[in-house]
Structure 1
Amino acid sequence: MIVVTGTAIAQVITVCTTPVLTRMYTPDQFGVLSIFVVILSGATIVSCLCYEPAVVLPADEASAIKLLIGCILISALMAGFSYISLLSAAAPIARFFNITDSLSMLWWIPWTIIGMGLFQAFTYWNMRLKKFKYLAASRICQSGVTAAVQIKGGLIGAGSSYLIYGQLLGLFVAVLVLGYETISQRFRMLVHGLLRPQELAAPLNQYRNFPLYSTWGTLMNTAAFQCVPLLLLKFHGTTVVGLYFLASRVVSMPMSLIGNALGQVLYQRVSDQLGQGQNIAKLIAKVVGGSILVWTPPFFLLFLFSPAIFSIFFGSQWNSAGYYAQALIPLFLLQLITSPASVVLIALNKQHIAARLQAILLAVALLSLGLTLSLSNSPLLSLIVYSLCQCIVYFVYLLVIIHCASTSIGEIFSEMKTIMRIREYELQPDRV
């Protein structure tokens, strides 16, 4: 509950400042920010090679802290590798995507990888210790600092650079909040592990399925979403990308607000129940059923009134983003229902199944977007086709999760009926 509350406050900050920022910055400037967010998303995955969820699993703290140290060292190595790669690749990448004016943005990639590596590693370490107050505080500080820097940039007319600086500074402030307890209480253990990296081999090898399957699976899942702004950039430029960025940011807010936090807490509960030999079927059925009941009505209302909402709250120049949002709403609703429950596959050590499904998501995304963008000059049509195709794959993904959790659609409907009966009883007036 603490994590959800902290994430909610962080998202309230984002929600309240977004209408201000959309009147300070143009869609073109938001398009540049969108490309940086794509980089940030990629850095989230490669920074620790997806070892960070394993930090929660060992029974003894010594093995867990070795995994934590391993994540830190891996992120440093990946940052160094990215810097060396950029020495020869930065200019060709900028030319390919027509962003030569924003070439300097690419040189923030190594710092982004380091920042995301530390953020992810310390997040799961605090989850292990059940220090949920640090998770909540980090998200609030991150949103607050990001918003403050971006608003300052808008006031002085600094352009898209301050949108990016805000993201980076917010990230590193969150790292400081998350790492405070670990560094202050376990400094000697961290130093010992950093000085003796050979001792990290055993735990890293034990959980090798995480980088072998989760890295590629998560990378493909993220690419299935992040290929959209990249392809829109290639075919239509930064203005269309900026409009798409705002649409996806608004529609994905529930995922950022509740979905990610729910997934983290659910991962902890599923791991605990499996460790105690308990069945997780009822838990997963309740989570999926509850998500359907909670999120379907507001998403339906947003679908009906998106263009008007975007024009009123964000300004008339963002009207087209409302139509993009309508195209994306079915996809993000299914993602919001499916993604938190997908931690079951990680907890059951079935990352290979998730990897295959995520490969299908990426292939379908590239095929649907690539064809429609090549054959049509309408970004909206491309987004509609992309969204519908991804919805089909996500529904299959959900069915696989239900099967692996040993639950069923019937049990999910049963949990939904129970939730509705409880809610109906709570709403009844007291009887004397």
Structure 2
Amino acid sequence: MSLVLGTAIGQLLTLAVTPFLARIYSDEDFGFLSLVISVVSIAAPAAALRLDSALMLPKDNRDASALFGVGMISAVVVSAASAGVLQIVFACGLLSNMAALPWFSLWVALITFLTAAFTLLGQYALRGHRYGAVARRSVYQSVLAAASQLGWGLAAPSATGLIGGYAIGRAAGIVPLVLALRTQLERFSSMDVRRLITKYWRFPALFTPSAILNSAGLVIPVLFVGLWFSVGDAGQWALADRILAAPLVLVATAVGQVVEAHVSEVVREGKGSLTRYFLSVSAVLAVIAGIVVFVVVLCAPPFLPILLGPGWGTAAQLMIAMSPIAATRLIVSPMSKVLVVLQRGGWTLGLDILRVVLVGAVVLAAIGLSLDLILTAWLFSVSLSIVYLVTWVIAWVAVRRGPGLERARAL
């Protein structure tokens, strides 16, 4: 309950401050923020090597501590490497819209590391059922991010204020987790690391590429909008997504963490059934998703310009176009956690390849047919919705197949 409450408070704070930020910052400022976050979304899964999900499985805290340590070291290396790669790309004259923001690559490196640490610490806290610390994480992050962005914007509004405030919020969210876990981490040896990497090799080898593809499939649309149309259009997209993300973050993220913890416990203890649990949670999420779509279609056109102020009319049209993906993602994202826990790496990778292929096809169609922004958004939304529906079916099949569960227990 505390986990859901913390997530709810954090998301409500983010929503409450959005109208003020929309009047202080321009759509281009929001566009630069969305481009930074999109690149981070691709780099962050690689930074932690997906060991955040593996943290839930070891029975021994020493083993979990070793996995945590490897994840943190990897986060430092990958974050620094991401900045280097971007600098080389910019030096070659590519991605000029991104390069127009000063210190773009350094922002990406900093936020990538903070995101990886945020995720690893959060999963370790959930492993120990420290839901209160995870709930406080969400509140601290939202409060500090909102205060920093507002203060920075009132003093000198620019994209730097939005991005810097976001980074401050990420850092603030780490504090309650560090305080809660400072006595939980145990010493480990290099032999422990080698043994655990051998045991959980699927997470870095299969689930990391899959997570990168998953994130790429989700953020390619906004990256494409920012690079093909304009940074301002990416900002319109970002505001629409920010509001649509309210139910997604409020419900799907919290439920997904609980689902992952529950499934991991069933696997670890070797008892209990997942089939009825899977269907009942999916049904509840489907009802919530239907309500979200109804409200968006009915309320976005007349009320969003009033909420955000002049200059944000495109965001209302984008919200309607993006409602199918918001609904299907709300249902499927939490339930897809079973594929990670049951270590269905091949299936997950196949789904993520399908997502990138479909999104890539939309990009080619938009360029080749000179489609406008709204029609392009509809095509992205429909293609991603199809992938999520296929994902739900595959997750259901994985839950029903007993041998898959037995194999996960054996590992």
Where on the TM-score scale, by shorter chain, does this alignment land: which range? over 0.9
| Aligned counterpart in structure 2 of residue 200 of structure 1, from 185, 189, 193 | 193
Partner residue, 2:407 = none
The 3 A distance-change label for structure 1 pair 87 and 15 is closer
* Contact kept? 2:263, 2:341, Cα under 8 Å: yes
TM-superposed CA distance for 1:86, in Å, is 4.2
| Aligned counterpart in structure 2 of residue 355 of structure 1, from 349, 354, 367 | 349
Please state if 1:175 is matched with 2:191: no
Moved more, 15-24 or 289-298: 289-298
Partner residue, 1:52 = 52
Q: TM-score, normalised by structure 2?
A: 0.93
The 3 A distance-change label for structure 1 pair 389 and 86 is closer
TM-superposed CA distance for 1:225, in Å, is 1.5
The 3 A distance-change label for structure 1 pair 199 and 398 is closer
* Contact kept? 1:266, 1:343, Cα under 8 Å: yes
Partner residue, 1:228 = 221
* Long gaps (5+) in structure 2: 402-411
Please state whether the residue corresponding to 1:349 is helix, strand or coil: coil
Please state if 1:112 is matched with 2:105: no
Query: Matches of 2:91 and 2:303 in 1, distance apart?
Result: 39
* Contact kept? 2:97, 2:231, Cα under 8 Å: no
| Aligned counterpart in structure 1 of residue 297 of structure 2, from 298, 303, 308 | 303
* Contact kept? 1:224, 1:361, Cα under 8 Å: yes
Query: Matches of 1:279 and 1:138 in 2, distance apart?
Result: 31
* Contact kept? 1:221, 1:358, Cα under 8 Å: yes
TM-superposed CA distance for 1:251, in Å, is 1.2
Query: Matches of 1:115 and 1:197 in 2, distance apart?
Result: 25
Matches within 5 A, 1:156-175: 156-175=155-174
Identity fraction in percent: 23
TM-superposed CA distance for 1:377, in Å, is 4.2
TM-superposed CA distance for 1:327, in Å, is 0.5
Query: Matches of 2:384 and 2:86 in 1, distance apart?
Result: 32
Please state whether the residue corresponding to 2:336 is helix, strand or coil: helix
The 3 A distance-change label for structure 1 pair 168 and 150 is same
Query: Matches of 1:64 and 1:12 in 2, distance apart?
Result: 33
Aligned residues: 400
Query: Matches of 2:117 and 2:90 in 1, distance apart?
Result: 24
Please state whether the residue corresponding to 1:47 is helix, strand or coil: helix
Matches within 5 A, 1:47-196: 47-92=47-92, 95-183=94-182, 185-186=183-184, 189=186, 192-193=187-188, 196=189
* Contact kept? 1:308, 1:319, Cα under 8 Å: no
- Given residue 146 of structure 1, which amino acid in structure 2 is its aligned partner? A
Please state whether the residue corresponding to 1:394 is helix, strand or coil: helix
The 3 A distance-change label for structure 1 pair 175 and 27 is same
Moved more, 273-282 or 239-248: 273-282
- Given residue 104 of structure 2, which amino acid in structure 1 is its aligned partner? M
* Contact kept? 2:27, 2:233, Cα under 8 Å: yes
Rg: which structure is higher? 1
The 3 A distance-change label for structure 1 pair 59 and 368 is same
Residue by residue over 1:69-95, the C-alpha shift from the partner in whole angstroms, topping out at 9 and shown as x without a partner, is 1111111221232344345334336x4
Query: Matches of 2:376 and 2:83 in 1, distance apart?
Result: 34
Matches within 5 A, 1:275-314: 275-314=269-308
* Contact kept? 2:31, 2:236, Cα under 8 Å: yes
TM-superposed CA distance for 1:325, in Å, is 0.6
Q: TM-score, normalised by structure 1?
A: 0.89
The 3 A distance-change label for structure 1 pair 276 and 211 is same
Query: Matches of 1:84 and 1:30 in 2, distance apart?
Result: 24
Moved more, 50-59 or 293-302: 293-302
Partner residue, 2:383 = 389
Partner residue, 2:365 = 371
Moved more, 158-167 or 198-207: 198-207
Residue by residue over 1:16-73, the C-alpha shift from the partner in whole angstroms, topping out at 9 and shown as x without a partner, is 0000100111111111111111123123211111111111101111111111111111
Partner residue, 2:205 = 212
Residue by residue over 1:105-157, the C-alpha shift from the partner in whole angstroms, topping out at 9 and shown as x without a partner, is 21222222321221111111001100011100011000100000100122113
Query: Matches of 2:199 and 2:285 in 1, distance apart?
Result: 34
Matches within 5 A, 1:412-431: none
Please state if 1:35 is matched with 2:35: yes
Please state whether the residue corresponding to 1:229 is helix, strand or coil: helix
| Aligned counterpart in structure 2 of residue 317 of structure 1, from 302, 311, 317 | 311
Query: Matches of 2:308 and 2:124 in 1, distance apart?
Result: 38
Partner residue, 1:241 = 234
Please state whether the residue corresponding to 2:103 is helix, strand or coil: helix
Partner residue, 1:14 = 14
- Given residue 240 of structure 1, which amino acid in structure 2 is its aligned partner? D
| Aligned counterpart in structure 2 of residue 252 of structure 1, from 233, 245, 252 | 245
* Contact kept? 1:24, 1:155, Cα under 8 Å: yes
* Contact kept? 2:54, 2:203, Cα under 8 Å: yes
- Given residue 278 of structure 2, which amino acid in structure 1 is its aligned partner? I
* Contact kept? 1:97, 1:233, Cα under 8 Å: no
The 3 A distance-change label for structure 1 pair 254 and 182 is same
* Long gaps (5+) in structure 1: 408-432
* Contact kept? 2:76, 2:113, Cα under 8 Å: yes
Query: Matches of 1:284 and 1:208 in 2, distance apart?
Result: 27
- Given residue 133 of structure 1, which amino acid in structure 2 is its aligned partner? G
